[in-house]
Structure 1
Amino acid sequence: MATNTYAPSPFEHIDFHIKDDHERFRYALLPASSHFWMYMSGGGRFMFFLLFIVSIPAYIAVISTGYDPIWESTKTIFIQLFSWLLGLPLLSWTIGSIVIKHFPNLWLKPSRGPIWELNRRTGLVTVFDYKNNGEYKKNGTIGELTAPFYEFDAYIATSPDSQGMPMNVLYLAHRYRNIMINFGALLCPGPEVQPACALWDFIQNYMDVSRPLPDLPQYEEYRHLDPTTAEYDRLTGRNPRFWIGMDDATFKQVVREMHQRVANIDTFQRPNLMAAYVTYVD
C-alpha cells in the first residue's frame, strides 16, 4: 500500500464472517441463495452424467426390440425422451456454471453471520445462536453461547449414509451446557475416523497458547504476531517464508507426508487422561 502497488483481491471488502488467523478461527457458510447456484451447477452435472450412462442401455434395448428403422426410432427417442431427460440437467448445469464463473456478484454473498468461533487469544469457544424456541429471531439479533475451551469434550458420531456406509463426524460438546459444534461442514463426513482425529489434534494445538500455531500455509503471515509462535520460530530458526517460498514439487511431497501422518494417527492408542476424573456409562 505504501508503494501504491497493492492490488486488492476480488470481494475482499465484503465481510463473509470467516476469520482464520493467529487470534481466532471463525467459521461461516454461504447463504442459501449462494448454495442454490452451486447445487444447480453441481447437481445438474451429476444428474446429466448419471442419466446419460443409464440412457445408453435403455436406448440399445429400445432399438433392438423396435420395428421401426434405427434412424426413425433414434429420432423419436431423442425428441420425446432424451431431450427432456438429458436436456434439463444439462440446462441446469450450464446456467449454474455460467452464473458462478461470470456473474459472481449474483451468487457470491455473505451469510447472516458466523456459525462458531474458536478464540486462541481468549481461550473461549462461541456458538452463534440465530433461533429462539426453534424459530429464527425476527429482530435480527444474534445470540452467543460462550464457554472456555477446556470445558468441551470431543467425540466422533457415526451414522450410515444412503448406501449403509459409516460416515464419521467430529463434534465438540460442552460438558455442562447445551453447547455443541458439528464440524461436518468444515470436514466432510467420511468412512475413516483418522481425519476427524487429526482435526481434533489441530483444534487442540490451535487453542493451546503454550504451543506455536500449527505450521500450515494459512498461518504463515500471522506467525510473527503470535508471541509463542514468534519465540518458537526465533529459537528454531524457522524460515519465515517456509510455505510461500516452497516450489510446487516440494509442496506436493509435504502434503503427501501430511496425509500419511493423518492415516497413521495414534489417537486411540493414547492414554485416556479423563478416565481419572469421570465415570463412563453406556
Structure 2
Amino acid sequence: MLEQYADTAYKGKQDAKFRDEIATDERETMYCRYQSKQAIYPRGKVYGHCYDSSQSSDYKYNLSGKAQHYRNILGSDPHVLSLSSLGRKVTDVLLLSWGVAHLVNLLFLFTIPLFLFLFGDTEEATSALFLFLLVWGGSKLFNLTVWKLVRKKITHTRVNFERNTGLVWSSDKGSKGQKVKLPFEQFNAHYKVQNNPQSGFPYRGFTLLHFKKDVFYAWTGANLISSAFVHWELLQNFMDVTQPLADIPQFEYYREFDKTTAEFDKANGRPKYFWYRVDKSFLKQMNHADDELIKEFSDDEQLNNLLTGKLIKKLSPPDIFKFPWKYADNIKAESEIKFGKTLWQKFTSFLMVDL
C-alpha cells in the first residue's frame, strides 16, 4: 500500500483510495493520521510564481542585516532554507509571549513614571521607573546570556530544505529530537486548515508530510488558498535544481551559490544582488501585479477543486515575476549597497529582545 501511495501521490494525482487508507493506523501521532487523509496539492506550478506581500519583510530583513543574523544563529548554509514549522509551535508561542511582555514593559517604562511625575508624585514615579528598569534589565540580561546559549539547541523546531541534495531535515518523533534526512520527493503537501479558537476564522495551508514516517513541515497563512499555493510552489522551486531560483527577496542570498541560477542570471543580464540594490518603491509595483493576478485565481473555485480532486486551473503570471529587474527604474550601483541598521534601528534593537 505504501509503495502504491508513493507512486500515486508523487505524481500529484488525487486518488481517494490511497488518501483514505494510507498509513493511518501505522502512524504514531493522531495529527499525522488525520493529515494523511486530506487532499493532496498537485506538484508543479499552479499559481505560477513565488512572490507575495510577505516578501516585503524579507526585503527589509536583507538590508537591515536581520536575515544574515538569523542565518548565523541557525548555521548559515548557502544551500539550505530553514523554516519554522507551525505544527510545532509551543516554543514559538512562548517566545512571542516573552516579546510582547517585554514590549509592554517598555511602554510602561516610558509612560507611567512620566505620568506620575507630571501629577506631582515624584516618589511613586521614581519607584515605578526603578521597577520597570529592573524588569527590562532582567529580560535583556536573560536575552544576552541564557537565551543566547540555548537558542541553537531548540532549532529542532525548524525544518531545513537542502537544495543541492534534495533532502529535508526534520525531527522524527521516535528519534529523540535527532535530525533525520529524507528525500523531498517522499513528502506530499496535504491540505490543512487551522481555525482561530476565538473568532473561528480559518487559516488555510498544508502539511508537508512524509508518506510513511511521522515527519512533517506544517504551514498556514491567510484564509485564501492562493497563499498556500504560493508557499507550496516556493518550496518546490527551492528544491528543484533543474530550474533557477525564483526571483524574490527571500532567495537573493542563495542565487550566487546555485549553479543553475547563476547561469540563468548571467545569460539574462540580471544585475547582481538586485534585491539589495532596487528601491523599496518597486515592491509596490510587484504587489500590484500580484493583486491583478489573484483576481484571475477564483479562490473559492480553486479550493473546491483541490478538495474534490478536480483539475486545478493554472495561471500564467506576467514576466515581471521572472525578470523583475527589467521593470525596475531605480537600481543602485553595486558599490552603493549598504547593509546594516540605522541609528534609530540600532537604538530600538537595544531596547528590545532578540528572539
Code of the aligned partner of 2:272: P
Classify the secondary structure of the residue corresponding to 2:241: coil
Residues matched between the structures, number = 212
Q: 1:215/1:18 Cα in 2 relative to 1: closer, same or farther (>3 Å)?
A: farther
Q: 1:167 aligns with which of 192, 203, 206?
A: 203
2: CA distance between counterparts of 1:14 and 1:104? 18
8 Å Cα contact 1:40-1:96 kept in structure 2: no
Question: Could you say which residue in structure 1 is the equivalent of 2:189?
Answer: 154
Question: Could you say which residue in structure 2 is the equivalent of 1:38?
Answer: 99
1:121 matches 2:156: no
2: CA distance between counterparts of 1:41 and 1:104? 11
1:105 matches 2:161: no
1: CA distance between counterparts of 2:137 and 2:298? 42
Structure-to-structure mapping, 1:78-97, within 5 angstroms: none
Q: Which structure's residues are more often helix, by fraction?
A: 2
Question: Could you say which residue in structure 1 is the equivalent of 2:82?
Answer: 26
Q: 1:214/1:166 Cα in 2 relative to 1: closer, same or farther (>3 Å)?
A: same
1: CA distance between counterparts of 2:236 and 2:167? 12
Question: Could you say which residue in structure 1 is the equivalent of 2:123?
Answer: none
Deviations 1:210-249 (A, max 9, x none): 0011212243343222110111112211121322221232
Question: Could you say which residue in structure 2 is the equivalent of 1:203?
Answer: 235
Code of the aligned partner of 1:199: H
1:179 matches 2:235: no
Q: 1:212/1:13 Cα in 2 relative to 1: closer, same or farther (>3 Å)?
A: closer
8 Å Cα contact 1:118-1:125 kept in structure 2: yes
Q: Percent identity?
A: 24
**Which blocks of at least 5 consecutive residues in structure 1 are unaligned?**
1-8, 49-90, 276-282
8 Å Cα contact 1:195-1:262 kept in structure 2: no
After alignment, is 260-269 or 202-211 more displaced?
Answer: 260-269
Could you say which structure has the greater relative contact order, defined with CA pairs below 8 angstroms and 6 or more residues apart? 2
2: CA distance between counterparts of 1:219 and 1:145? 24
Deviations 1:179-206 (A, max 9, x none): 211124xxxx432221111000100111
Residue 12 (structure 1) shift:
4.7
2: CA distance between counterparts of 1:258 and 1:103? 42
Deviations 1:59-108 (A, max 9, x none): xxxxxxxxxxxxxxxxxxxxxxxxxxxxxxxx98x9569956x9952686
8 Å Cα contact 2:238-2:245 kept in structure 1: yes
1: CA distance between counterparts of 2:136 and 2:225? 34
Residue 144 (structure 1) shift:
2.0
Q: 1:156/1:13 Cα in 2 relative to 1: closer, same or farther (>3 Å)?
A: closer
Q: 1:226/1:15 Cα in 2 relative to 1: closer, same or farther (>3 Å)?
A: closer
Code of the aligned partner of 1:40: A
Code of the aligned partner of 2:279: D
1: CA distance between counterparts of 2:238 and 2:70? 27
What is the CA RMSD across the aligned residues, in angstroms? Answer: 4.4
Q: 1:233 aligns with which of 250, 265, 269?
A: 265
1:17 matches 2:17: no
Q: Give the TM-score of the pair, scaled to structure 1.
A: 0.58
Code of the aligned partner of 2:261: T
**Which blocks of at least 5 consecutive residues in structure 2 are unaligned?**
1-64, 109-130, 310-355
Classify the secondary structure of the residue corresponding to 2:272: coil
Residue 26 (structure 1) shift:
1.9
Q: 1:151/1:234 Cα in 2 relative to 1: closer, same or farther (>3 Å)?
A: same
Question: Could you say which residue in structure 2 is the equivalent of 1:62?
Answer: none
Structure-to-structure mapping, 1:122-137, within 5 angstroms: 122-129=165-172, 137=176
Classify the secondary structure of the residue corresponding to 2:246: coil
Residue 145 (structure 1) shift:
2.5
1: CA distance between counterparts of 2:296 and 2:77? 27
Q: Give the TM-score of the pair, scaled to structure 2.
A: 0.47
Larger Rg: 1
Classify the secondary structure of the residue corresponding to 2:274: coil
